[in-house]
Structure 1
Amino acid sequence: MESRNLPIKLFSKRGTQDERRTEGGGGGDLPTWVLSEELLELKSVEFRESLGATAQTIAERPADRRFIPALLKVTVREDAMAKSHRGEVAKIFNRKEEYNFIGVSEDLDFLVKVDSAEHLAFIDHNLERPTVFPIGVSAIDEIRLFEPRIDLPADPDTPLKVKLINFQNRQINQRIESEFEQTLKINDIIYKKTEYGFGLTVFKLDHVQPDALLSVQEFEALYSIDPMPSYRITLDELTPSETLPIKEPIEGQEYFTIGVLDSGIAPIPHLAPWLDKRRYTAYSENEVDRSHGTFVAGILLYGDELEKSNWVGISEFKLLDATVFPQPRIGIDEDELIENIRNAVTAHPDVLLWNLSGGGSLECSARDFSDFGKALDDLQHQTGEIICKSAGNCNKFATSEPKLRIPTSADSIRSLVVGSIAHARGTNDLVPEGHPSPFSRTGFGPNKIVKPELAHYGGNAGLAPNGRMTFTGVNSFSTSGQVVQQVGTSFSTPRVSALLAGLSHRVAGDFDPLLLKALAIHSARYHHSLKLSPMDRLREIGYGLPGSVENIIFNDPHESTLILQDNIVRGGYIEILDFPFPDVLVNDEGQYYGEIIITLVTNPRLDSTQGAEYCQSNIDASFGTYDRIRIRDTTKRTVSNPIGKQNPYNLLLSSHYASRFHRFIDHPFTPERQLRDDMGKYHPIKKYGINLQEMTESHRVRGLMSPKKWYLELKGLFSHAAENAAAADGEQLSQEFCLAVTIRDPLKRHDVYSSVTRSLNVNNFQHNNIQLRNEVNINVRNTNGETGPQSSPN
C-alpha cells in the first residue's frame, strides 16, 4: 500500500478577487396562489372575526397583568414560507420598526405578539384592506389565539416542566417570570428555576395540588406544561477478558484533556495516572456508581489496544472526571442534569472537548428541537467547546420492531452525535461487521437534520434460539480493573472523542471546533459490504466511520485535500473562479475524471424560539466547471458584480448522475458516494461524494470536456427572523464555515497532489501544509512492572 505522508493543505480566498456581492432579483409578478379580490375580502372578514377572542383576552386581563402581551398563532400556507413572502405577512402585524413575530410553534405556525388594544386595532385596520396586502392575506390560512400545550403526567408524583412564552424582550420576560414566581408562592407550590440557555428558562414544579395547578394553567404567559424528563445511566458488565499493559504519562509532558460527563471514573491502575487532579461531582460517595464512566474512560485511553486495532491512532490524554449522573437507582431530572453539565463545563474553561455518553430515552421530535439539545448548544456557543454525544440505544430488535429515533439531547446542533456499528459478528448476532448495531438508534433529527453525524464501533447484538438477547461487546475496564465487555452507543462515542482529541493534539494551533468536525466528517466512509440505500445509511449512521488520525491529516500522491476556513457576511458570497482542480485528470476522451469529496461544516445562528427553524443561517455550495469568465454590465439595476461565469455547470446536482448510483450499488466508490436530493436549507453540515465517471454520458460531454475551468461558490442565507433581529440590534450577520475538498485519481495514474499544489501557486492562492506537532515517547508498563517506550505525537 502506498504511504500516506503528504500533509493536507490549508488555503485562503484571494481577498476581493474571490468576493462577490449578493444581487437582487427582478420581476414583480405576484405568486400564482394570490387570491382574487373577492376571495381576499372573504378572508378579511374571517380573519377579523377571529381577532375577537384576542380583543376579549386583552380587555379581561387584570390591571397588574396588562403588560403581558397577547399571542396569536398565524398559520401560513406551505408554498408561502419563503423569506420574501414572510415579509409581506409581517407587514400586516408590524408597526413601523416593530417586529412582532416572536417565534415558530411546534406545528410551524408563527407566533405573533399583540401588546395592546391599539396594536390589535392596527392589525384589524390592515385586514380591513386586504387588497393593499394581497400576498400577505393570501399567504395566511388561519389566525387564532394561542393556547398553551398542557400534557400532564399519569403519575401525580412526576414533577412538572413548565415553560413561559419568550416575548423576545428581556425586561418583559423578567417581569413575567417574577409574576409567575409570585403565583407559585401564593399557591404554596415547590419549584426550581433553571436557565437552559438561549433565553430558555424552565420551572420544575413538585407535588402540585389540583387547585394550585389551575392557577398555573391560567397564567397569561404560559407556553407549555409537560412531565419533567428523568435520566439514568446503567452498565451491565459481561464476561471478564484479558489483561493489558498500563500506559503512564511522561512527567513534565503536556497532554490534551478530555472532560468525561458521566457517572464517575474509578482510579484503577490503568486510568489513575491519566486522571486530572481536578474533579467535579454533584454527588456524595454513596450516591455514585462509577461502572459506566470507568468503561467510557477505558475506551478513551485504551480503545485501540483493547481491540488490537488502529481505529483512532492516538489515545494518550488526561481525563477530567465530571460526575454528573448519580447511580441508576436514584435517577436525575432533566433540569438537574443540565445544571450539573453546565456547572462542570464552566468550572473548567480550559477543557474544550467533553464526552457525554448518556442522556435519556424519550424520542426527539420530527420538527421541534428539544430543550436539552438547545441547552447543550448554548453551552457550546458560550465556551467554544465540542460535546461528543451518544445517539442512544434501544432493544426493539428483540421484538423485530423498528428502531427508536435518537433521544432528546442527541438533536443538539453543535454537538457531534455518534451512533454505533458492529465491530464483529458472533454466533447469534443480527448484523455483519460494519453495519449499524441492532441497538443503535436512528435519525434523522428535527427538520431532517443528519443525526447522528458519525458512527464508530460499539458492539453487536442478536437473539439466542430461546429468544434471549445476546451481545458481542467491545472491551474496556470494570471498576475492579478487569477487562470486560459491553455494547452501546455510549462506547462508540468515546472513540470519536478520542479521535477529535488526537486531531487537536496532533495539529498545531488553537482548538478549532469547525476544523475538527470537518476533518472527522470528511474522512468518514461506510463499510465496503454495507448494503443499505444511501438514505438508510445516512439516517442510521450519518456519514459513516471516520478514519484514524494519521489517515485524516495525510494524503498519498494520487489525492489532495484542501481546507478553506472563512466567514460569509450577509450581502456577500465567495466565488473562486480558478479553483485548483488537477489538470492531469483528463481521460482519453478529453474529459475530466476523478473522485471528489466535499464537506461543508458551518457554525449556524440558532434561535430557540423558532421551532423547526431553530437553525437560522445556511450556506449552500456549488462546485463545477464553466467555459470562460464573462464581463457583466454593472449599470443594470440587478447587476453588482463585474465578472461572472459563462455556462456554469454545477456538478453537485444528483440529476447529473446515472440513476443506478442513486441507490446501493456494489462499486469501489460506494463507501464514499453522497448524492442526496433533499440536502436541505439550514442544515449546518453538508457532504457530497461524487465520481465524475458516474455522470450520464450526455452530462459528461456537456460538463467535463477539457479545457473547461473550475469554480467553487459558497452563498450564505439568513432567515427573515434573523435579519429582523440583527436589524434591531445593529448586528452585522455573518457565518463561519470550514470547507474540506478532496480530489482523487481512482485509477492511481497521476500525481494529483503535486498538480494541485502547482495550480495553487500559478493562481496566487496563499496556502500552506497543515502544521503538525512533533513526536514524543510514552511510557508503557506491563502488568509485571516492566516498562518500555511507545511513540505518540506531542
Structure 2
Amino acid sequence: MEPKNLPIKLFSKRGTQDERKTEAGGGGPQPSWLLPEDMLEARATEFRQSLGATAQSIAARRPERSFIPAVVQVTVREDAMAKSHRGEVGKLFNRKEEYNFIGLSEDLDFLVKVDSPEHVAFIEHNLERPLAFSIGLSAIDEIRPFQPRIDLPQDIATPLKVKLVNYQDRQMNAQVESAFEQTLREGQIAYRKTRYTSGLTVFKLEHVRPDSLVTVQEFEALYSIDPMPAYRITLDELSSGLELPVKTPVPGQDYLTVGVLDSGIAPIPHLAPWLDTRRYSAYNEPEVDRSHGTFVAGVLLYGDELEQRSWVGVGEFKLLDATVFPRPGLEIDEDELLENIQNAVLAHPDVLLWNLSGGGTMECSARDFSDFGKSLDELQQRTGALICKSAGNCTNFVSAAPKRRIPVSADSVRSLVVGSVAHSQGPDDLVPEGHASPFSRSGFGPNKLIKPELVHYGGNGGVTAGGRMKLTGVNSFSLTGGVVQQAGTSFSTPRVSALMAGLSHRVAGDFNPLLLKALAIHSAKYHPGLSLSPSDRLRELGFGLPGSVDDIIFNSPHESTLILQDNIVRGGYIEILDFPFPDVLLNDEGQFYGEVTVTLVTDPRLDGNQGAEYCQSNIDVSFGTYDRIRLRDTTKRTVSNPIGKLNPYNLLLSSNYAAKFQRYIDHPFTAERQLRDDLGKYHPIKKYAINLQEMTEAHRVRGLTAPKKWYLELKGLFSHAAEAAAAADGEVLSQEFCLIVTIRDPLQRHDVYSSVTRSLTLNNFQHNNIQLRNEVSLNLRNTSGGSAPEPAPE
C-alpha cells in the first residue's frame, strides 16, 4: 500500500471574494393545475361546508377548555407542495402576523390551528372571494377536521402512549398539558409524564378503565394514542480462549471519555483501569446484568487487539458507565429509557461522545420520524454531543425472509448510525467478508434518509442443515474477564465510537461532531467484491466501512484532502471560482483526469411537527469546471452578483457518466463510486465519488479539455415553515456544514499534494495542515504472563 504521512489540510473561504447573494427568480407562469372560475366557486363552497364542523366543535368546548384551538387537516395536491405555493395556501388561513400551520401529518397533510369563531369567520370570508385566492384554492384537494390516530393494544395491560397536539406556542402547550392532567386526575387515571423534546411531551397511561379511556379519546387536543413501546437487550456468548495483555493509562496523560449507554460495565482487569470514577445507574443491583455493556466496552477499548487486526487503529480512552438498560428479561418502556438516557447525558456535560448499542425492534416509518429519534436529536443539539447508535438486528435470514428496516431510534438524524458487515465466513455463514451481516437491518430511514451511515465488523450468521440459526461472532470480554464471541450491530457500533474517539483525540481543538462524522464518512468504502447496485449498497451498508485513524488523517503524495467548515446564512451562498484542482492531472489528450470524492455533512434545522419534512434546511454542492469569469449586469432586477461562470459544468451529475458506471461494475474504483443525483433534498449528508475517466467521451471533451477553471459552489435552502418561524422570532437562519474534498491521481504519476498546496497559496487561501496532538505510548502488562500479540497484516 502507498505510504501515507502527509497531513490533510483545512482551508477557508476568502471572505467577500467567495460570498454571493441569492438572486430572486422571475414571477414565472401560472401553475398548470390552476382551476377555472366555475370550479373555484364550487371548491370554495365545499370548503365552507367543511368548516362548519370545526365551528361546531369550537362552540361545543367546555368553558374551562374553550381556549384550546381546533385543528383542521388540509390536503394539498402533490405538485403544489413547492414553497411558493404553500405561501398561497397560507393566505387562506393566516391573519396578519400569524402563521397557523402547526405541522404535517403522516400523510403529508397540513395541520392548521383555528382558535376561535372569529378565525373561522376570517377563513370563510376568504372562501367567499375565490378569485382572490385562486392558487391557494386550486392547490387544496380537501379540508376536514383533524382526527387523532388511535391504535389501542390488544393486551389491556400494555401501557398507552398519549401525545397531544403541538400548537407551536409554548404557553398554549403548557395550558393544554395542564388541562389534560386535570382530565386524567378526574378520571383517576395513573400517568407518567416525560418530555421527549422541547416540543413533545408524552403521557404514559396505565390500567385505563374503558369509561376513562373514552374521556381521554374525547380530549380536544388529543393527537394520538399508541401502545407504549418497550425495549430489552440480550446476550448469548461463545467461548474464544484468546488471552490479551492488559492496557493501562499513562500517568498524567489526558484521555477522551466515551459514555457507554448500556447495561453496565463490569470492572474486570482489562477494563477497570479505564473506567471513569463517575458512573450513572437507573437501577438497583438486583436489576442489573453487565454482560452486554462489558462486551461493548471490550470492543471499544480492545477491538483491534481482540481480532489482531488494525481496523480502527486506536483504543485508549476513559469509559463512563451509564447503566440505562435493566438486566435481560426485564423490559423498559420507551419513556423511561429516554429519561434514563437524558439523565445520564445531562449529568455529564463534559462527556461529548456516547455509544448506544440498543434501542428496540419496531421498524421505523417510511415517512415520519420517530419520537425516540427526535429525542436523541434534541439531546445532541442541546449538549453538543455525538451518539453512535446501532442499526438493530433481525433474524429474518433464518426463514429466508427479507431484512427488516432499521428500528425507531436508529432514524435519529444527528446520531451516527452503524450497521454490521461480516469479518469472516464460516461453514454455515451466508455472506462473504465485507458484505452486510445477515442480521444487520437495512435502510432507508424516513424520507429515504441514508441510515445506517456506516458499517463495521460485527459478525456473520447462517442456518445449519437442521434449520437452526448459527452466528459467527466477534471477540470481547465476559463478566469473568475471559474472551468470548458474540455477533450483532451492538458490537460493530463501538468500533465506530472508538474511531470517533481516536479522531477527536488525534485532531487538536474542541470536540467537533460535524468534522468527525464528515471524516469517517468521507473515508468509507465498500468491499471490492461487493456486487450490489449503488442504491442497494446505500440501503444496506450506508456509505460503507470507514478507514483507520491514520488512513483518515494522512494523505499520500498522489492525493490531497481539503476540509472547509463554515456556515451558510439565508440569502447568501458560497462560490469559489478558483478551486485548487491540480493542473498536473492532464492526460495525453489534454483532458483533466483523476478521482474526486466530495463529502458534505450539515447540521440541519429540525422540526418534529413537520412529518417527513423533519429536516428543514438543505445545502446543495456543485463542483466542476467553467471557461472563464463573466461580468454580469447588476442593474437588472434579478441580478445581484457582479461576476459569474461562463459555461459551468457540474461534474457531480450522474448524467455525465457512462451508463455502465451508474450500475455495479467490477472495476478498481467500484469500492468508492457514488453516482446518485437523488441523494435527497433536505438530506443532511451527501457524498459523491467520481472518476473523471468514467465520463462519456462527449462530456469529457466538453467539460475536461484544458484550459479550464475549477469551481466549488454551496447553496443553502430553508423550508417555508422554517422561514415563517424565523420571521416570527426575528431569527437569522443559517446552517453549519463540513465539506471534505479529496483529489487523487489513480495512475500515481504526479505529486498532487504539492500541486494543490501551491495552488492554495497562489490563490490567497488561508490554509494549514490539520493540527494533531502528540502521541504517548501506553503501558502494557499481561496478566497471563505472556507478551502482547503482534497485529496481523491487514
The residue that corresponds to 1:10 in the other structure is 10
- TM-score after normalising by structure 1: 0.99
Helix, strand or coil at the partner of 1:242? coil
Does residue 731 of structure 1 match 2:731? Answer: yes
In structure 2, what is the Cα distance between the partners aligned to 1:79 and 1:547? 42
In structure 2, what is the Cα distance between the partners aligned to 1:240 and 1:307? 11
Does residue 563 of structure 1 match 2:559? Answer: no
Helix, strand or coil at the partner of 1:71? strand
In structure 2, what is the Cα distance between the partners aligned to 1:540 and 1:132? 50
Q: Once the 2 structures are TM-superposed, how far is the Cα of residue 142 of structure 1 from its aligned partner? A: 0.6
The residue that corresponds to 1:308 in the other structure is 308
Q: Once the 2 structures are TM-superposed, how far is the Cα of residue 785 of structure 1 from its aligned partner? A: 4.8
The amino acid of 2:560's aligned partner reads S
Asked if structure 1 preserves the Cα contact closer than 8 Å seen for 2:394 and 2:404, the reply is: yes
In structure 2, what is the Cα distance between the partners aligned to 1:106 and 1:303? 41
Q: Spell out, residue by residue over 1:169-208, the C-alpha distance to the aligned partner (whole angstroms, 9 max, x if none).
A: 1111101000000000011100000000131100000100
Asked if structure 1 preserves the Cα contact closer than 8 Å seen for 2:604 and 2:684, the reply is: yes
Asked if structure 2 preserves the Cα contact closer than 8 Å seen for 1:241 and 1:485, the reply is: no
Asked if structure 1 preserves the Cα contact closer than 8 Å seen for 2:71 and 2:113, the reply is: yes
Does residue 322 of structure 1 match 2:322? Answer: yes
Relative to structure 1, the CA distance from residue 642 to residue 596 in structure 2 (aligned partners, 3 Å threshold; closer, same or farther) is: same
The amino acid of 1:428's aligned partner reads D
The residue that corresponds to 2:257 in the other structure is 257
The amino acid of 1:61's aligned partner reads R
Helix, strand or coil at the partner of 2:566? strand
Asked if structure 2 preserves the Cα contact closer than 8 Å seen for 1:779 and 1:787, the reply is: no
In structure 2, what is the Cα distance between the partners aligned to 1:681 and 1:47? 32
Helix, strand or coil at the partner of 2:99? coil
Q: Once the 2 structures are TM-superposed, how far is the Cα of residue 353 of structure 1 from its aligned partner? A: 0.1
The amino acid of 2:615's aligned partner reads C
The residue that corresponds to 1:626 in the other structure is 626
In structure 2, what is the Cα distance between the partners aligned to 1:787 and 1:593? 49
Asked if structure 1 preserves the Cα contact closer than 8 Å seen for 2:244 and 2:789, the reply is: no
In structure 1, what is the Cα distance between the partners aligned to 2:730 and 2:496? 39
Does residue 165 of structure 1 match 2:162? Answer: no
1:378-457 matched pairs, under 5 angstroms: 378-457=378-457
Asked if structure 2 preserves the Cα contact closer than 8 Å seen for 1:149 and 1:225, the reply is: yes
The amino acid of 2:759's aligned partner reads S
The residue that corresponds to 1:271 in the other structure is 271
Asked if structure 1 preserves the Cα contact closer than 8 Å seen for 2:308 and 2:790, the reply is: no
Asked if structure 2 preserves the Cα contact closer than 8 Å seen for 1:256 and 1:317, the reply is: yes
In structure 1, what is the Cα distance between the partners aligned to 2:306 and 2:785? 19
The residue that corresponds to 2:667 in the other structure is 667
Asked if structure 2 preserves the Cα contact closer than 8 Å seen for 1:780 and 1:789, the reply is: no
The residue that corresponds to 2:647 in the other structure is 647
In structure 2, what is the Cα distance between the partners aligned to 1:789 and 1:469? 32
Does residue 368 of structure 1 match 2:368? Answer: yes
Q: Once the 2 structures are TM-superposed, how far is the Cα of residue 46 of structure 1 from its aligned partner? A: 1.3
Q: Once the 2 structures are TM-superposed, how far is the Cα of residue 784 of structure 1 from its aligned partner? A: 3.5
The residue that corresponds to 1:100 in the other structure is 100
Q: Spell out, residue by residue over 1:103-151, the C-alpha distance to the aligned partner (whole angstroms, 9 max, x if none).
A: 0011100000001111111111111211111111111111000000000
Asked if structure 1 preserves the Cα contact closer than 8 Å seen for 2:353 and 2:385, the reply is: yes
In structure 1, what is the Cα distance between the partners aligned to 2:487 and 2:787? 32
Asked if structure 2 preserves the Cα contact closer than 8 Å seen for 1:422 and 1:457, the reply is: yes
Asked if structure 2 preserves the Cα contact closer than 8 Å seen for 1:71 and 1:145, the reply is: yes
In structure 1, what is the Cα distance between the partners aligned to 2:53 and 2:479? 62
1:231-250 matched pairs, under 5 angstroms: 231-250=231-250
- TM-score after normalising by structure 2: 0.99
Q: Once the 2 structures are TM-superposed, how far is the Cα of residue 27 of structure 1 from its aligned partner? A: 3.1
1:570-649 matched pairs, under 5 angstroms: 570-649=570-649
Q: Once the 2 structures are TM-superposed, how far is the Cα of residue 504 of structure 1 from its aligned partner? A: 0.2
The residue that corresponds to 1:175 in the other structure is 175
The residue that corresponds to 1:121 in the other structure is 121
In structure 2, what is the Cα distance between the partners aligned to 1:560 and 1:183? 64
Q: Once the 2 structures are TM-superposed, how far is the Cα of residue 678 of structure 1 from its aligned partner? A: 1.2
The amino acid of 2:727's aligned partner reads A
Q: Spell out, residue by residue over 1:248-268, the C-alpha distance to the aligned partner (whole angstroms, 9 max, x if none).
A: 111221111100000000111
1:674-693 matched pairs, under 5 angstroms: 674-693=674-693
Does residue 130 of structure 1 match 2:166? Answer: no
Sequence identity, in percent? Answer: 77
The residue that corresponds to 1:530 in the other structure is 530
Q: Once the 2 structures are TM-superposed, how far is the Cα of residue 677 of structure 1 from its aligned partner? A: 2.8
Is there any run of 5+ residues in structure 1 with no aligned partner, and where? none
Helix, strand or coil at the partner of 1:503? helix
The residue that corresponds to 2:469 in the other structure is 469
Q: Once the 2 structures are TM-superposed, how far is the Cα of residue 69 of structure 1 from its aligned partner? A: 0.4
The residue that corresponds to 1:745 in the other structure is 745
In structure 1, what is the Cα distance between the partners aligned to 2:726 and 2:59? 33
The residue that corresponds to 1:32 in the other structure is 32
Asked if structure 1 preserves the Cα contact closer than 8 Å seen for 2:244 and 2:788, the reply is: no
In structure 1, what is the Cα distance between the partners aligned to 2:257 and 2:789? 21
Helix, strand or coil at the partner of 1:700? helix
The amino acid of 1:360's aligned partner reads G
The amino acid of 2:613's aligned partner reads E
In structure 1, what is the Cα distance between the partners aligned to 2:785 and 2:570? 61
In structure 1, what is the Cα distance between the partners aligned to 2:749 and 2:70? 69
Helix, strand or coil at the partner of 1:388? strand
In structure 1, what is the Cα distance between the partners aligned to 2:464 and 2:785? 42
Asked if structure 1 preserves the Cα contact closer than 8 Å seen for 2:364 and 2:408, the reply is: yes
The amino acid of 1:656's aligned partner reads N
In structure 2, what is the Cα distance between the partners aligned to 1:239 and 1:249? 28
Runs of 4+ aligned residues of structure 1 deviating over 6 Å after TM superposition are: 786-791
The residue that corresponds to 1:770 in the other structure is 770
In structure 1, what is the Cα distance between the partners aligned to 2:241 and 2:386? 33
Q: Once the 2 structures are TM-superposed, how far is the Cα of residue 34 of structure 1 from its aligned partner? A: 0.9
In structure 1, what is the Cα distance between the partners aligned to 2:646 and 2:790? 56
Q: Once the 2 structures are TM-superposed, how far is the Cα of residue 545 of structure 1 from its aligned partner? A: 0.1
The residue that corresponds to 1:503 in the other structure is 503
Asked if structure 2 preserves the Cα contact closer than 8 Å seen for 1:778 and 1:790, the reply is: no
Helix, strand or coil at the partner of 2:778? strand
In structure 2, what is the Cα distance between the partners aligned to 1:330 and 1:553? 43
Q: Spell out, residue by residue over 1:244-287, the C-alpha distance to the aligned partner (whole angstroms, 9 max, x if none).
A: 11111112211111000000001111101110010000001100
Is there any run of 5+ residues in structure 2 with no aligned partner, and where? none
Q: Spell out, residue by residue over 1:413-447, the C-alpha distance to the aligned partner (whole angstroms, 9 max, x if none).
A: 00000000000000000000000000000000000
Helix, strand or coil at the partner of 1:376? helix
Over the aligned positions, Cα root-mean-square deviation in angstroms equals 1.1
Asked if structure 2 preserves the Cα contact closer than 8 Å seen for 1:780 and 1:790, the reply is: no
In structure 2, what is the Cα distance between the partners aligned to 1:274 and 1:582? 46
Relative to structure 1, the CA distance from residue 91 to residue 684 in structure 2 (aligned partners, 3 Å threshold; closer, same or farther) is: same
In structure 2, what is the Cα distance between the partners aligned to 1:241 and 1:417? 31
When the two structures are aligned, how many residues end up with a matched partner?
A: 791
In structure 1, what is the Cα distance between the partners aligned to 2:425 and 2:265? 30
Q: Once the 2 structures are TM-superposed, how far is the Cα of residue 789 of structure 1 from its aligned partner? A: 13
Helix, strand or coil at the partner of 1:279? strand
Q: Spell out, residue by residue over 1:458-481, the C-alpha distance to the aligned partner (whole angstroms, 9 max, x if none).
A: 000001111111111100000011
Q: Once the 2 structures are TM-superposed, how far is the Cα of residue 28 of structure 1 from its aligned partner? A: 3.7
Q: Once the 2 structures are TM-superposed, how far is the Cα of residue 96 of structure 1 from its aligned partner? A: 0.9
Asked if structure 2 preserves the Cα contact closer than 8 Å seen for 1:656 and 1:695, the reply is: yes
The residue that corresponds to 1:215 in the other structure is 215
Asked if structure 1 preserves the Cα contact closer than 8 Å seen for 2:243 and 2:784, the reply is: no
Q: Spell out, residue by residue over 1:14-51, the C-alpha distance to the aligned partner (whole angstroms, 9 max, x if none).
A: 00000000000013421111111121112111111111
The amino acid of 2:326's aligned partner reads P
In structure 2, what is the Cα distance between the partners aligned to 1:243 and 1:210? 59
The amino acid of 2:57's aligned partner reads T
In structure 2, what is the Cα distance between the partners aligned to 1:143 and 1:63? 26
In structure 2, what is the Cα distance between the partners aligned to 1:256 and 1:362? 33
In structure 2, what is the Cα distance between the partners aligned to 1:595 and 1:716? 26
The residue that corresponds to 1:60 in the other structure is 60
Helix, strand or coil at the partner of 2:671? helix
Asked if structure 2 preserves the Cα contact closer than 8 Å seen for 1:357 and 1:390, the reply is: yes
In structure 1, what is the Cα distance between the partners aligned to 2:785 and 2:267? 18
Relative to structure 1, the CA distance from residue 787 to residue 466 in structure 2 (aligned partners, 3 Å threshold; closer, same or farther) is: closer
In structure 2, what is the Cα distance between the partners aligned to 1:227 and 1:165? 18
In structure 2, what is the Cα distance between the partners aligned to 1:627 and 1:237? 63
In structure 1, what is the Cα distance between the partners aligned to 2:3 and 2:704? 30
Relative to structure 1, the CA distance from residue 541 to residue 198 in structure 2 (aligned partners, 3 Å threshold; closer, same or farther) is: farther
